[in-house]
Chain A
Amino acid sequence: DAKTTQPPSMDCAEGRAANLPCNHSTISGNEYVYWYRQIHSQGPQYIIHGLKNNETNEMASLIITEDRKSSTLILPHATLRDTAVYYCIVRVGLNQAGTALIFGKGTTLSVSS
């Protein structure tokens, strides 16, 4: 199972871009990179996922390196409501039926005005 490494915490000024890194050097070719976030006392919220190519949606952009050993989640204009714990997850196989999310400790992003 691929594991991920993230910095425990990061700070970001409101309105600036927040770039959250993640290392997943043992990722397999068919494993997806997912990002979730968890605002205090709420359930995790899906942000974005990708396999090889860079992805963008209304919430964020995901940049995956060519060798797929690391990725960066970009929140282009961070707001105070983006303060949360951000989890980088690599989907792993679960028996032969599907996959599970294995959460690490994540990065606590603090956005300040």
Chain B
Amino acid sequence: ETGVTQTPRHLVMGMTNKKSLKCEQHLGHNAMYWYKQSAKKPLELMFVYSLEERVENNSVPSRFSPECPNSSHLFLHLHTLQPEDSALYLCASSQALAAYNEQFFGPGTRLTVL
């Protein structure tokens, strides 16, 4: 596998369920990101990790809980979500946080909350 992979690609869950989204990057990068893309809205940055430490939590509700166990893996744990949380969740990575480093995106997880 190369690049940034995300699993699952599609997820349907009820409001009382607990699920996790997984992201893995095979690029040797040190920074990883979670973004949310709702229908007809711009991508929104959710979380940023650098060297497994969270450097930004962009006012995201606590029902979203990120985890970065190592520089290659990033998780987004979900619990008691709302229907308005239905969206495409995108993971990205970059060599470092510096402004001149481009970000590489995964294909996303399409989440539907019933």
Complex: A101 Cα to B33 Cα, angstroms: 10
**Residues B107 and A43 in contact, CB atoms below 8 Å apart:** yes
Q: Which of B11-19, B60-68, B75-83, B89-97 faces chain A?
A: B89-97
Residues from chain B with Cβ under 8 Å of A45 in the complex:
105
The majority secondary structure among interface residues of chain A is loop
**Residues B99 and A43 in contact, CB atoms below 8 Å apart:** no
**Residues A94 and B55 in contact, CB atoms below 8 Å apart:** yes
**Residues B103 and A101 in contact, CB atoms below 8 Å apart:** yes
Complex: A53 Cα to B33 Cα, angstroms: 28
Complex: A8 Cα to B1 Cα, angstroms: 36
**Residues A43 and B56 in contact, CB atoms below 8 Å apart:** no
Residues from chain B with Cβ under 8 Å of A99 in the complex:
97-99
| Given A98-B48, A99-B98, A42 and B107 contact (CB-CB distance below 8 Å) | yes
Q: Smallest Cβ distance from A48 to chain B, in angstroms? A: 9
**Residues A103 and B42 in contact, CB atoms below 8 Å apart:** yes
Residues from chain B with Cβ under 8 Å of A91 in the complex:
99
| Given A45-B105, A97-B50, A101-B45, A32 and B97 contact (CB-CB distance below 8 Å) | no
**Residues B50 and A43 in contact, CB atoms below 8 Å apart:** no
**Residues B31 and A98 in contact, CB atoms below 8 Å apart:** yes
Q: Smallest Cβ distance from A38 to chain B, in angstroms? A: 8
**Residues B100 and A43 in contact, CB atoms below 8 Å apart:** no
Complex: A101 Cα to B88 Cα, angstroms: 17
Complex: A100 Cα to B46 Cα, angstroms: 10
Complex: A45 Cα to B100 Cα, angstroms: 15
Interface, chain B (partner A; CB < 8 A): 4, 31, 33, 42-45, 48, 50, 55-56, 88, 90, 92, 96-100, 102-108, 110
Please name 5 pairs of A and B residues whose Cβ atoms are closer than 8 Å in the assembled complex, sorted by A. A31-B99, A44-B105, A46-B102, A97-B50, A103-B42
